[in-house]
Amino acid sequence: MDTSFSPEDIAFRDEVRAFFDEAYTDDLRDRMGDSKQYREAIVEWQKKLNEKGWVAPNWPMEYGGAGWTPTQNFIYESERSSRGIRDVVPFGLKMVAPVIYTFGNEEQKARFLPRILNSDDWWCQGYSEPGAGSDLAALKTKAELDGDHYVVNGAKIWTTYAQHADWIFCLVRTSNEGKRQHGISFLLIDMKTEGIKVNPIESIDNHHSLNEVEFNNVRVPAANLIGEQDKGWTYAKALLAHERTGIAGVADSKRALREVRGLAEAEVNGGKALIDDPLFQKRVSDIEIELMALEFTDLRVLASVAAGGAPGAESSLLKIKGTEIQQQVQELRMDVAAHYQGVLPTELDNAVIGHEFGSSARQSYMYGRAATVYGGSNEIQKNIIAKAVLGL
- CA gap 4, 107 in Å, rounded: 43
Cβ-based neighbours of 223, under 8 Å, separated by 6 or more: 107, 108, 148
**Which H/E stretch holds residue 154?**
strand 149-156
Label residue 89 exposed, middle or buried (CB < 10 Å: 0-12, 13-18, 19+).
buried
Catalytic, out of 77, 212, 243, 314: 243
State which amino acid sits at residue 194: E
Q: Is 304 left (phi over 0), alpha (psi -120 to 50) or beta?
A: alpha
Q: What are phi and psi of 261, to 5 degrees?
A: -60, -45
- CA gap 94, 318 in Å, rounded: 16
177: annotated active-site residue = no
SS3 call for 123: strand
Cβ-based neighbours of 387, under 8 Å, separated by 6 or more: none
Do residues 209 and 270 make contact, with C-beta atoms less than 8 angstroms apart?
no
Do residues 329 and 287 make contact, with C-beta atoms less than 8 angstroms apart?
yes
DSSP letter string, 275-305? GG-HHHHHHHHHHHHHHHHHHHHHHHHHHHH
Which residues are designated catalytic?
243
